[in-house]
Amino acid sequence: MCGIVGYCGPKAASQVLIEGLKRLEYRGYDSAGVCILKDSGFKVIRRTGKIRNLQEALGDGEAGNCGIGHTRWATHGEVTEENAHPHTDGNSEFAIVHNGIIENYQMLKDDLEHKGRVFRSSTDSEVIAHLLAEHYRDSLEQALRDIIPLLKGTYGIAAVTSREPGKIIGARNGSPLVIGIGEGEMFLASDVTAVLAYTKQVVYLNDGEMVCITSDEYRTCDVHDRIIKKQVELVEWELEAIEKQGFKSFMEKEIYEQVDSVQRACQGRINPEAATGHLGGLNMLPGELREIERIRVIAAGTSYHAGMIGCYLLEKVARIPSFAELSSEVRYKNPVIEPHSLYFAVSQSGETADTLYAMRELQRKGAKVLGLCNVIGSTIARESDGGVYLHSGPEIAVASTKAFTSQLTIFYILTLLFARMKHYSLEDGLKFIEALESVPGHLQTILDRAHQVEALAKKYAGFKDFLFLGRGINYPVALEGALKLKEISYIHAEGYSAAEIKHGPIALINEQTPSLFIVPDDHLRDKIISNMKEVKARRGKLIALAVEGDYGVADIADDTLFVPRAHELIYPFLMVVPLQLFAYYCALELGCNVDQPRNLAKSVTVE
């Protein structure tokens, strides 16, 4: 959830660290700090709040060409300078930054305090600095290697010592670390975005691996000091991709990028001659795919909603029993692995801890798990048995938008692939492709009308509670719409199947609780209209998201937004974008930070 940056090279480390931390702001944080190594020791500066507070405290910068920096989201201990990273051993000889959670920190802390160690923070991370001091002899690398068996939990660690200036040691277990390779300089970070301004050559660490970097080299090994030769990979993103490029916010930019990101997700993956999909990364032969009898999706948050839609499609169109489950629940229920089952782990970042751990548990029991990720080189992408990259480009805003529609695109192609292998005719496949390829044009039409959504948001932003309601394939869209609204505007919102309103939620209906209904022109339209009338009879305010020309819905609702008329299967794309815009404009109207909503992080790397 937090951000790490380390630097060794000829430049002023303080400036490189600040710029790197700014690139990691999107991950979410409440405090930040740096440790700059000098010939005479090191200097630690920490501040709560935004990175600009830390930058002001640094002034013109601290002299030194090596250092580590960190942005923190509070897990253990309140938001204070004492709890901010980097943490030291108290004698200003060892400093560390840490992502993750040390589950047995209290036991370690009690033992260290018994030995006379004085702690200055309420965090779990500080124990690492004190342990390094206790175990250090003449090698920081060896000291870290010695203490790793003592640490129970997850960690991405970067450590320095004044006794070995010009050197940074790192270790990973469950929390990402990446090495950036420059010319005469080296970087260590939790995310490639922190180093992209300086280099595109990176090396990803796996769990159980360590690294030692200096300005001119890096060394990777395991905890037993066995050398590990790593592959240098080239980051495909351009620096401009993580800039706002004239938009007011990253979220706005990413909402508008969906026209292109959906197209990219399709590129090279549709075969019009055979009217089928092509997903080579699945690493499965056609015969193996035909033997699949059921599909399971594990995911969290927005990715879970995409998985729900994917499972609806796979079952309805490809006739494969499919089920989406929250990854946080999978690991702890001792899942049963059924024969001829295929699992998909879905995660934008590819680092979501709940999904990663669930994937490993399923694999441990013999399941084949494929990954759907956006971040190349991420842990799920590397450890899964195959999978598909979304190719959305970097998603910086904490609230996911374009990754969601890219995930949907992959599920649609997967559905087409399975359907054509089973019962779909060539004509059916061509119609499905035509519908999918129409999505970008329809999205552009919706985005061209964004001012209509903005006007609606200004009217309703003052309400404190919302209900989002949909049916069938659009029920998960209602869940996603409610999630977006509460994520970035802090307005309480709940998503339900419209059919479920009479089973409890109808008790909440009043003039101060608007209900937003998703009403595509499909086989469930009349059912949804009946649910709308139930709300209307109780004087509830009604907002409808309907299809162009459906004035029957508009006559019932207090306010209506229209989307283009399309094939009924692709309405989730068309319905979710207005809901993203509605949440966005509500948040702006309320003065919220749409890119960095409170208490949330982009990459959730702790359970």
Phi-psi domain of 535 (left: phi exceeds 0; alpha: psi -120 through 50; beta: other): alpha
- The one-character DSSP state at 602 is S
- β-strands 294-299, 276-277 pairing: unpaired
List the structure tokens of 117: 């160690």
In this structure, what DSSP letter does residue 194 have? G
Cα–Cα distance, 336 to 308 (Å, whole number): 20
Token pair for residue 81?
């300078």
Q: Using alpha carbons only, what angle is made at residue 176 by residues 11 and 180, rounded to the nearest 5 degrees?
A: 30
Could you tell me the CA-to-CA distances from 604 to 9, 27, 563 in Å, in that order? 31, 9, 33
Cα–Cα distance for residue pair 324/306, rounded to 1 Å: 9
Q: Name every residue whose Cβ is closer than 8 Å to that of residue 493 and which is 6 or more positions away in sequence.
A: 465, 466, 467, 468, 481, 482, 483, 485, 486
Rg (the chain; Cα; Å): 25
Residue written as token pair 């459906």: 550
Q: Catalytic site residues?
A: 2, 602
Task: Identify whether the C-beta of residue 353 lies closer than 8 Å to the C-beta of residue 340.
Answer: no
CB-count burial class (<10 Å; 0-12, 13-18, 19+) for 71: buried
Burial of 327-366, coded b for 16+ CB within 10 Å and e otherwise, reads: bbebbeeebeeeeebbbbbbbbbbbbbbbbbbbbbbbeee
Residue written as tokens 């670390």? 177
